[in-house]
Amino acid sequence: MDIEYKAFQLEITPEEIAQLIDHTKLNAWEGPEAIKNLCREAIQYNFYSVCLNSCYVSLAAETLQNTDIKVCSVVGFPLGAMESRSKAWETQQAVENGAHEIDMVINVGMLKSQQEKYVKADIEDVVSAADSALVKVIIETCYLTDEEKIKACELSKESGADFVKTSTGFGAYGAFPYDINIMRKIVGPNMGVKAAGGIKNFADAARAILANGNIIDPLKFRLGASAGINIINNMKWLSLSDNWVIDEIPCRLCPVRATTFGKMSESQYSYHKSRCHMCQYKQYNLFYD
């Protein structure tokens, strides 16, 4: 992949970017008041959806009735290692409670063990339980080799899911242009890609949008972020200056920079490290010796 660093070329309005954002609150400690507030913010900024844990689907659906804002529930989250029928059941409950979208986590361990039949059936069960709700498959790129990312995208597509999504936000790292680019290439033009995890400001969002081929359509591209308001507000002062572009270096766009020993298996850490050593931009190499 040719790493892109021309985010300054992006032309998008705050209104358009808001319609790409799944406004997200998933931490264990969030209570009903925080979720109501999330919904109010979504109304104020006209975000595409709110994304939350399944215990808050009813509350969000009620708070957002008479608006166009969708309710998105995570399922089997964030490990993806919940037994398949339970993922399907959680999906069905979420849809009954008012969810329009389901962000399920793929079974990462089974994927990495070449249990493709299991992984596919696991997604199919959720797609089937979701009925007409849109299904995004979180492939958790931080734990995958490039070959596994490709396989995860292929299986998600074959299983009838609507989107692939980079990350839970609870793994070793989140969405990086490098991975978004791979995912878009594999799923083709008709499936959605969602970039999520670590998208903290407009610069991150812009890099993600460009890595996806600059598609401004919420049915084809989505940003998952708890920092949606910051992203929108950023655009104002960023348009006053291009300084944030000037110090762009390729390493900043690469997931390897966020790889931390102890937050993933040893083999995955070695995989990232070796990739860094072989990279065409290795003269920038800021993160590994």
Residues that bind a second copy (CB under 8 A): 26-34, 53-57, 77-86, 89-90, 93-94, 97, 105, 107-110, 112-113, 115, 140, 143, 170-171, 264-265, 268
Q: Which of 87, 194, 204, 220 is catalytic?
A: 194
Other C-beta atoms within 10 Å of 57: how many? 24
> In whole angstroms, how close is the CB of 130 to a second copy at the nearest point?
14
Our answer to whether residue 120 is catalytic in this structure is: no
Q: Cβ closer to a second copy: 55 or 215?
A: 55
Q: Cβ closer to a second copy: 17 or 142?
A: 142
- Do residues 135 and 125 make contact, with C-beta atoms less than 8 angstroms apart? no
Q: Which of 112, 120, 136, 165 is catalytic?
A: 165
Q: Cβ closer to a second copy: 209 or 256?
A: 256
How many residues are present in the chain? 289
> In whole angstroms, how close is the CB of 190 to a second copy at the nearest point?
28
Which has the closest alpha carbon to 183: 167, 205, 200? 167
Our answer to whether residue 117 is catalytic in this structure is: no
Q: CA–CA separation, 13 vs 249, rounded Å?
A: 25
Phi and psi at residue 75, to the nearest 5° = -140, 135
Our answer to whether residue 165 is catalytic in this structure is: yes
> In whole angstroms, how close is the CB of 106 to a second copy at the nearest point?
9
3 state DSSP class of 24:
strand
Q: CA–CA separation, 97 vs 20, rounded Å?
A: 24
> Which of the residues are catalytic?
103, 165, 194
